[in-house]
């Protein structure tokens, strides 16, 4: 039986910290184009959907073999979540007989994520694995975290602050690029990080996630200094 794999590229118009971040220029093209191309080049999806409320993004997306979903305002606010959007899309399609098996979310603000990263993340979904996500290593040990209180620094985890590193395993973090899940499991847990999730480890340079002006400048400088190929 053929497994139906769907990619969702969420790209709303509003962004307070970095306006129009999905269409900023990167290597001569809008940032979102790099994610659209990576999804297409992965050759694993039965359908690629760009969900947006932005006329410019719709115009850009029409140049590629993708489906454009007109994102409702209630799913395009600062408080709306990707889980709400995906749940709505799944149920909309179920009503018209489109039954999806695996859903993958690809954020356009991770332009260095490659088609192989997408394939390797989705490949982790198996009989015993319902969730998979792109991850990278922490820059610093999370157990060394400090908070500022009354102008003084206080360890978040005082009992762990003097431990240099843990013996078993290494700390990983969701890098904000690539998520995949079996549709039934996603609907059950309303999350892409459900039980027994697996992670595809990506290097830091391919894990750059654009959310602020500093992120964008770092992306431009990193590509210039390291000659990153995407």
pLDDT of residue 230: 45
Q: What is the pLDDT of residue 155?
A: 96
Number of domains in the chain: 1
pLDDT at 225 (0 to 100): 53
pLDDT value of position 8: 98
Distance CA 222, CA 108 (A): 18
Any domain includes 79: yes
- The reported pLDDT for the residue numbered 186 is 97
Whether the pTM exceeds 0.95: the reply is: no
- Residue 67 has a pLDDT of 97
Task: Give the Cα separation of 216 and 224 in Å (integer).
Answer: 13
Does residue 122 fall inside a structural domain?
Answer: yes
- pLDDT of 2 reads 62
Which CATH number does the domain housing residue 62 bear?
Answer: 3.90.550.10
Which residues does the chain have with pLDDT short of 50? 228-230
Is position 198 within any domain? yes
Domain holding 44, by residue range, is: 5-136+173-226
């Amino acid at each position: 039986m053929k497994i139906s794999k769907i990619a969702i590229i969420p790209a709303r118009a509003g962004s307070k910290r970095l306006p129009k971040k999905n269409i900023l220029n990167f290597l001569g093209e809008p940032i979102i184009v790099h994610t659209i191309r990576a999804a297409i080049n992965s050759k694993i999806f039965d359908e690629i959907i760009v969900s947006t409320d932005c006329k410019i993004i719709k115009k850009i997306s029409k140049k590629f073999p993708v489906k454009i979903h007109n994102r409702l305002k209630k799913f395009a606010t600062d408080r709306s979540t990707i889980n709400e959007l995906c749940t709505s899309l799944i149920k909309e399609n179920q009503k018209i007989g489109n039954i999806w098996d695996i859903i993958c979310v690809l954020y356009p603000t991770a332009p260095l994520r490659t088609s192989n990263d997408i394939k390797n993340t989705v490949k982790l979904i198996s009989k015993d694995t319902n969730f998979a996500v792109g991850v990278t290593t922490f820059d610093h040990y999370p157990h060394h975290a400090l908070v500022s209180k009354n102008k003084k620094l206080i360890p978040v985890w005082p009992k762990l602050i003097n431990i240099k590193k843990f013996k078993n395993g290494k700390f990983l973090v969701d890098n904000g690029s690539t998520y995949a899940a079996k549709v039934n499991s996603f609907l059950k847990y309303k999350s892409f990080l459900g039980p027994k999730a697996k992670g595809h480890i990506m290097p830091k340079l391919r894990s750059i996630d654009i959310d602020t002006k500093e992120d964008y400048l770092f992306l431009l400088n990193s590509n210039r200094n390291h000659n990153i190929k995407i």
